Amino acid sequence: MTMNKLLIKLAKTFILYFAAPLILLSAVYCIVAGSFTGTAYASTDYVTDYENGRRIFDEAGLLTDTEREYLESLSKKYGEQAGIEIIVLTHNDAHAVYPEKYIEDFEDLLPVDDRVYFLYDLYRGEIFMEGYGLAETYIHSKRIDEIFDSVEDDLRNGNYLEAFKTYIIQSAAYLEDDTELNYDHNYKYDTPPADFDADNKYTYDDYDYNYHYKSYYKAEQKKNNILFNVWFQLLISLFIGGSVVGVLAYSSGGVMTAGARDYLDRSKSGLIGCKDQYTHSTVSKVRKPSSNSSSGGGVKSSGGFNSGGFRGGVSSGGRSHSSGGRKL
């Protein structure tokens, strides 16, 4: 009874003195932490803009309004002609996810359709393309590389309008081109391009890409791991603190230490009957989960990083795509 009283008292004290300030503290922490984490984009705005017909999302502000409107009309025209949506993304956000995931997340916001994306990540100085639906087939890794070859110089020289124009027109053109469609995503340059530097880790063959993003990708996985979640950690800490105080309070008045071992007469006690009889067995079997099935939820877009040469991936929303990227 007295222990109960103590516990009730403890609980009351806890609520009065700790819970309220704690919630306050946590809120402050989250505001502070939140300002650091900052999500890449406000998803609802993008969806609204997309529904209003926008295809050019120039977050980095590379284009003037007239240039953007020109590209919008171009994208619409060539898109309708090719039967896909041609989308341009740019940003200069230090806290945005890595390019492949950025596009995947964007795609997951939108209704399923045939789309090709071109992302210019100014912060990283990388360009990345992904093709969904029809575009996955028609705009595959090799063709993505070819588009990159065409736009690279313009981007470097700041001719953004020209670069995006080329991308839109060339993408649309590939949809008409039925050759090379059995392309197996194992594209390798027959002969390395002139400026290919095997020692440069930013040269975009798959292996290097993998190398470059390995740490980033792991961090991404960790972010999604519950063990690294701020709230989870706070909860764990509170639990540990509570347990410590609880144990201290409980043991402050002394605990029972005498048990059976103190009174058992070992000389006269023991097991006097013991039988273990096997009766029967049952066996059940399940099929081994196949190794290429997705684990469900979380980050799945590992396809683009396979060092085996396959380029492409699957978004969190389950959309598979072709892909390719390059460091500018």
Partner 1 sequence: MVTHYKCPNCGADMEFDASSGKLKCHSCQREESIEKMAGLNNIPDGAQVSYNIEDEDKKAEQTFFEKDYEDPLFEDNSTHHHAFSEHEITEYHCQNCGAVLITEPQTTATRCSFCGAGIVISERLSGTFAPDYVIPFSITKEQAQEAFKKWCKKGLLLPSDFKVADRIKDITGIYVPFWLYDLNGKGEAVATCTKVRTYTRGDWIYTETRYYNVYRKVDLDYLKVPCDASKKMDDSMMDKLEPYTYGNLKDFKMPYLAGFVAEKYDYDDEQLLPRVKNRVYSYVESYLKSTISGYTTVHFNKLDIHIRKKDAKYTLLPVWMVCYDYKKAEHTFAMNGQTGKIVGKPPISKGKVAAWFFGVSGSCFLLLRILTLIMEGGW
Two structure tokens written together for 320: 């598979």
Q: Which is nearer to partner 1, 181 or 236 (CB)?
A: 236
CA 9/CA 207 separation, integer angstroms? 62
Q: Which among 200, 206, 213, 221 is positioned nearest to 323, based on CA atoms? A: 206
CB of 93 to partner 1, least distance (A): 14
For the CB of residue 13, give the shortest distance to partner 1 in the complex, in Å. 5
As measured in angstroms, the least distance from the Cβ of 9 to partner 1 is 8
In a 13 Å sphere around the CA of 289, the CA atoms on its Cβ side amount to: 6
What are the backbone dihedrals phi and psi of residue 324, each rounded to the nearest 5 degrees, phi first? Answer: -170, 150
Closer residue to partner 1 in complex, CB, 192/242 = 242
Decide if 311 contacts 139 (C-beta within 8 A).
no
Q: Which is nearer to partner 1, 6 or 134 (CB)?
A: 6
Site of tokens 């209003």: 52
Contacts 24+ apart (CB under 8 A), 47-51: 47/109, 47/110, 50/109, 50/110
- Closer residue to partner 1 (CB): 179 or 281: 281
Q: How near is the Cβ of 217 to partner 1 at its closest, in Å?
A: 12
3-state secondary structure of 147: helix
Cβ distance to partner 1 smaller for residue 48 or 221: 221
Nearer to partner 1, 9 or 188 (CB): 9
Coil, strand or helix: which one is 258? coil
For residue 61, the 8-state DSSP code is -
Residue 305 C-beta: closest distance to partner 1, Å: 19
Which residues make up the interface to partner 1 (CB under 8 A)? 2, 6, 9-10, 13-14, 17-18, 33, 36-37, 215, 219, 222-223, 228, 230, 233-234, 236-238, 240-242, 244-245, 248-249, 252-260, 262-265, 268-288
Do residues 311 and 141 lie in contact, with contact meaning Cβ atoms separated by under 8 Å? Answer: yes
Shortest Å, Cβ 255 to partner 1: 6
How far apart are the C-alpha atoms of 115 and 180, rounded to whole Å?
Answer: 19
Minimum CB distance to partner 1 smaller for 52 or for 295: 295
Q: How far is the CB of 16 from partner 1 (least distance, A)?
A: 9
In whole angstroms, the minimum distance from the beta carbon of 326 to partner 1 comes to 25
* Residue closer to partner 1 (CB basis): 109 or 235: 235
- Give residue 46's identity as a one-letter amino acid code: Y
- Cα-based angle 206, 209, 211 (whole degrees, multiple of 5): 110
Q: Is 173 exposed, middle or buried (0-12, 13-18, 19+ CB in 10 A)?
A: middle
Residue with tokens 């969904």: 132
Task: Say how many CA atoms lie within 13 Å of 287 toward its Cβ.
Answer: 4
Q: Which is nearer to partner 1, 24 or 112 (CB)?
A: 24
Distances, alpha carbon 233 to alpha carbons 28, 227, 261, 319, 322, in Å? 16, 7, 40, 32, 38
Considering the complex, what minimum distance in angstroms separates the CB of residue 249 from partner 1?
6
